[in-house]
Amino acid sequence: MFSFGPKLYNPHGVFIPDEILAHEAVHGFRQGETVADTLEWWRRYMAEPAFRLAEELPAHKAELQWLIDHNSRRDRRRAIKQIAAKLASPLYGSLVTPSQARKLLKAENLWHSNITMQ
């Protein structure tokens, strides 16, 4: 599954959870308004690890925000660990460690609740 501009492609027809839709919506928005913008976004995403991380971070934050808004405090703590592990995974090029990913996800006071993440 992937975004190409405002469209989400799901070639295998798998179920897409709402938090992943939030993640992909960020990509769709950031890819720009024209096909040329989107193609350039994809070119950079594939070629430039720093750009990939810069694009994945807000998408993962949106995913985390959705989970924070729709789950209990205990589930929130689990969510940040899982999303940090995903952001740090080989899927994205192992660009950061899970610990670095947690710090990046917690930056900029992401959520409205008064929760301290470990």
pLDDT tens, 90-111?
999 999 999 999 999 988 655 4
Model pLDDT, residue 108: 63
The answer to the question of residue 116 being in a domain is no
Q: Is 27 inside a domain boundary?
A: yes
Query: Is residue 115 one of the residues assigned to a domain?
Result: no
pLDDT in tens, 44-93: 999 999 999 999 999 999 999 999 999 988 898 899 999 999 999 999 99
Average pLDDT over residues 3-29: 97
* Strand residues in the chain grouped as ranges (E): 2-4, 7-9
The answer to whether residue 47 is domain-embedded is yes
Please tell me the pTM assigned to this model: 0.86
Contact 115, 73 (CB under 8 A): yes
**Which residues form the domain of 52?**
16-106
Tally of domains in the chain: 1
Whether 76 is in a domain gets the answer yes
